[in-house]
Amino acid sequence: MLNLKTKYLLIPFSYIFHPIFISIYGALLYFLFTKNISLLAEVYLSFIQIFILTILLPISFYMLLKALKKVKSFTEATLEERKLPIFIQVLLLYCLLNFTILETHFPELYKFFQAGFISAFLVFVSVMLRFKASLHMIGITSLFVFTVMLTSYLEIDATYTMAYLIMCMGFVASSRLFMKAHSPIELIVGILIGALPQVFVWFYSM
């Protein structure tokens, strides 16, 4: 009974905070904190670009790869199943950085995706080296660190938001362990790959 309750409590976090959704969560938090109402058309355009390049196209590629029997699971991909989707993600993030309006209109959000590109590249390298870092922890950690850096830069009190994200990090980590999708070291490496590029990009560009 306890395991059943734990299952229904923890497993949803692996879907709610699936790496594919982190980009749109980051964009939502950015626009909520910055309140760029004077650039409403640009906000809508950026949302569309982010949605297409980080959610719609990756899901389309995933469905194609699943139809071709190249991947089996949405949340528990093996090392071999990770290679092509992560490589595609690197390419899509490159397109987002170079062929959208983020850099000129929303530079802080652009930094978030710069760091995301670095994280995706590091994950691809780790997969080629036969190491399975936790993509879920990379995603939720990068979102948390981005929120910390952004709100510090804007001098906004976001204590409750950060507390909520820390709680979510704990639930996501517990979910991945409960599902036996990762070992503790894979979660720790995921946290580092998610956090360090965010910190590096912010301090390097200041």
In angstroms, what CA-CA distances link 115 with 3, 45, 84, 155, 195?
37, 21, 20, 21, 9
Q: List, for residues 108-126, the tens digit of each pLDDT value.
A: 999 999 999 999 999 999 9
Domain range enclosing 184: 2-204
Estimate the crossing angle of helix 79-98 against helix 57-67, to 10 degrees.
150
Q: What is the torsional sign of CA 134, 78, 15, 61?
A: positive
Q: Look up tokens 């906000």; give the residue.
A: 43
Q: List, for residues 51-64, the tens digit of each pLDDT value.
A: 999 999 999 998 89
Residue 145: pLDDT band with limits 50, 70, 90: very high
Mean predicted confidence (pLDDT) in 192-206: 91
Burial 25-37 (b: 16+ CB within 10 A, else e): bbbebbbebbeee
- pTM for the complete prediction? 0.91
Burial 116-147 (b: 16+ CB within 10 A, else e): bbbbbbbbbebbeeeebbbbbbbbbbbbbbbb
Total of domains in the chain: 1
Count how many Cα atoms sit within 13 Å of the Cα of residue 54 in the half-sphere of its side chain: 26
Lowest average pLDDT, out of 25-29, 43-47, 69-73, 128-132, goes to 69-73
Q: Which tokens go with 90?
A: 């690197």
